[in-house]
Copies of this chain bind each other. A is one copy, B any other.
Amino acid sequence: MEDEIVLTKVTLFEKIALSIQRLIDNEVLKPGDKMPSVRSLSLEQKVSMSTVFQAYYLLEKKGLIEARPRSGYYVRKSFKRNSQEPSATATWKMPINVRVDSLVSDFVKPHAKASVVDLSIAGPSVELLPVAKLNKSIQAVLREHKGKSFQYAFPPGDENLLRQIARLSLHWGGSLAKDEIIVTNGCMEAINICLRAVAKQGDTIAIESPTYYGVLQTIESLGMKVLEITTNPDTGIDVDELEKAIIKTKVAACLFTLNFNNPLGSCMPDSEKKRLVELLAKREIPLIEDDILGDIYFGKSRPKNAKSFDKHGLVLLCSSFSKTVAPGLRVGWTAPGRFKEKVERLKFMTSIAAPTLMQQAVAHFLENGRYDNHLKALRLAYHIQMRKYREAIFKYFPEGTKVTDPQGGHVIWIELPHKVNAIELQDIVLRQGIAILPGSIFSAKKRHENYIRIGYCNQFTPEVENALLIIGKCANNMLIEGN
């Protein structure tokens, strides 16, 4: 077992709330159970009653418990647990060509544009952006750097930003040096370049199933093949399955999102990450690790990433500040291990450099402790929103619907009864101004035809609740019509 480094400052009431949350998550405290009274818990835990009140208030905000008048606090009833999670997808036996591009283009953008309530997005809504503080950082660096903010910041990137990114590695149990990092135009460019650095046209890339459609499009555009590996909605890639698959099939690289896979929200236990890295090292297979969501965790501490177990420079860690600070900045980065030189050259050839002012602004934002504070608020907001969305989905969606219980990130993956065709459903709800994503764009095999992805990035407003109600009704109608 590795020691866990917990860098997040957790106040006393948050600590208590987290312990209780774990009890609820593990069903020690079950839906409908009465919570200990504030007085008794205060005595038991040797904390003030006001601390307990704060903890209960937080749990209530997260939608985990509810206050009943003159009766005390109860665990909310509407919770269903892991047994209701979507099933894991089987590993596909052969590498296959990817042909999702036109499907994605048909279903992603036009739908988001035409919608009033956009549940297809997976990035911070305007309310969750640190606009004022970003403005301050921009003003500060414009004053400080003057014309230099408008000149090239050639790869590897702005010195100051590289230092700040290296500093962040403490959060995930790593110890990156600044000269191991290359700044990119977002995480997608990082992944693109890393793929080109370790594999060529015709090569096979092992991926999770389901996986983010952007990754599938990228692999398709590079003329590479994919091998989809079984992924558990809780723990991610099945390392044993992967081992079997890579013995049978020559794989040029793996491309995994171990922390909060999009769309699953799964998180691989750190011990499994270690096993995974060791397995791939034995066979000299590079792992491109997309850790863009690692900082958006709902648990007590940030999960580690595979990079922290990498002793051979075979893990190409990719991330960005698109989901944690703001997507419009287009500031991403990669720590590509032994492939650094090649990746740095490819970065230059692909787009010369990342935008200078944006790099400087992010560096300033990180340097001044703004990142840590912002993240804390962001995680809480997403956690609360997730609970509320999830509850509404259980309430309004057809009997038999299975829903992930994401441990981080910002999307929920929903398995509807078999008779519901998600592409049809998407079309129907769009006509009522609601955008969702159908499951089939998350797999090269176009599986998941009765799945949808819903992002909980927008605040849970009455409009959102109504949208979920409409989606549920439409799905129910499809079931009735189907009979």
Contact of A189 among B126, B147, B326, B351 (CB under 8 A): B351
Using CB atoms, name the residue of chain B closest to A215.
B349
Mind listing 29 A-B residue pairs with CB under 8 Å? A126-B148, A129-B147, A129-B150, A131-B150, A149-B328, A151-B327, A152-B328, A153-B328, A185-B185, A185-B189, A185-B351, A185-B354, A186-B352, A189-B350, A201-B201, A217-B348, A218-B349, A218-B350, A221-B349, A328-B355, A328-B357, A329-B355, A329-B356, A330-B352, A330-B353, A330-B356, A355-B358, A357-B357, A357-B358
Using CB atoms, name the residue of chain B closest to A105.
B345
Complex Cα–Cα for A384 and B326 (A): 43
- Stretch from A17-25, A134-142, A266-274 at the B interface: A134-142
Using CB atoms, name the residue of chain B closest to A357.
B328
Contact of A147 among B126, B151, B220 (CB under 8 A): B126
Least CB distance from A290 to B in Å reads 13
A151: chain B residues at CB < 8 Å are 123, 126, 129, 326-328
Q: Is A418 an interface residue (CB 8 A)?
A: no
Using CB atoms, name the residue of chain B closest to A202.
B201
Q: Is A278 an interface residue (CB 8 A)?
A: no
Within 8 A of B (CB), among A333-361: 341, 345-346, 348-358
Least CB distance from A370 to B in Å reads 14
* B-contact 0/1 string along A385-418, CB 8 Å cutoff: 0000000000000000000000000000000000
Within 8 A of B (CB), among A158-207: 184-186, 188-189, 192, 196, 200-201
Q: How many copies does the complex hold?
A: 2
Complex Cα–Cα for A392 and B346 (A): 37
Using CB atoms, name the residue of chain B closest to A131.
B147
Asked whether, in the complex, the Cβ of A351 is within 8 Å of the Cβ of B154, the reply is: no
Complex Cα–Cα for A354 and B153 (A): 16
Complex Cα–Cα for A135 and B294 (A): 34
Asked whether, in the complex, the Cβ of A355 is within 8 Å of the Cβ of B326, the reply is: no
Q: Is A77 an interface residue (CB 8 A)?
A: no
Asked whether, in the complex, the Cβ of B123 is within 8 Å of the Cβ of A152, the reply is: yes
Within 8 A of B (CB), among A292-348: 322, 326-330, 341, 345-346, 348
A196: chain B residues at CB < 8 Å are 221
Q: Is A109 an interface residue (CB 8 A)?
A: yes
Q: Is A146 an interface residue (CB 8 A)?
A: yes
Asked whether, in the complex, the Cβ of A186 is within 8 Å of the Cβ of B328, the reply is: no
Using CB atoms, name the residue of chain B closest to A344.
B105
Contact of A135 among B126, B142, B154, B200 (CB under 8 A): B142
Contact of A346 among B148, B153, B186, B221 (CB under 8 A): B221
Contact of A351 among B109, B188, B200, B326 (CB under 8 A): B188
Candidate in A131, A218, A341, A350 with the most chain B CB atoms within 10 angstroms? A350
Q: Is A372 an interface residue (CB 8 A)?
A: no
Shortest 6 CB-CB contacts between residues of A and residues of B: A328-B356, A150-B326, A126-B147, A189-B351, A185-B351, A330-B355
Least CB distance from A149 to B in Å reads 6
Asked whether, in the complex, the Cβ of B192 is within 8 Å of the Cβ of A349, the reply is: yes
Complex Cα–Cα for A353 and B355 (A): 12
Asked whether, in the complex, the Cβ of A330 is within 8 Å of the Cβ of B346, the reply is: no
Q: Is A101 an interface residue (CB 8 A)?
A: yes
Given A214-B349, A351-B330, residue A138 in contact with residue B147 (CB < 8 A): no
Q: Is A223 an interface residue (CB 8 A)?
A: yes
A201: chain B residues at CB < 8 Å are 200-201, 223
Asked whether, in the complex, the Cβ of A329 is within 8 Å of the Cβ of B154, the reply is: no
Given A185-B330, A330-B185, A355-B330, residue A217 in contact with residue B150 (CB < 8 A): no
Complex Cα–Cα for A44 and B218 (A): 67
Asked whether, in the complex, the Cβ of A192 is within 8 Å of the Cβ of B350, the reply is: yes
Complex Cα–Cα for A109 and B352 (A): 12
Asked whether, in the complex, the Cβ of B350 is within 8 Å of the Cβ of A188, the reply is: yes
Complex Cα–Cα for A158 and B192 (A): 23
Least CB distance from A367 to B in Å reads 18
Least CB distance from A182 to B in Å reads 13
Asked whether, in the complex, the Cβ of B352 is within 8 Å of the Cβ of A214, the reply is: yes
Complex Cα–Cα for A328 and B146 (A): 12
Using CB atoms, name the residue of chain B closest to A187.
B352
A220: chain B residues at CB < 8 Å are 349
Using CB atoms, name the residue of chain B closest to A220.
B349
A123: chain B residues at CB < 8 Å are 151-152
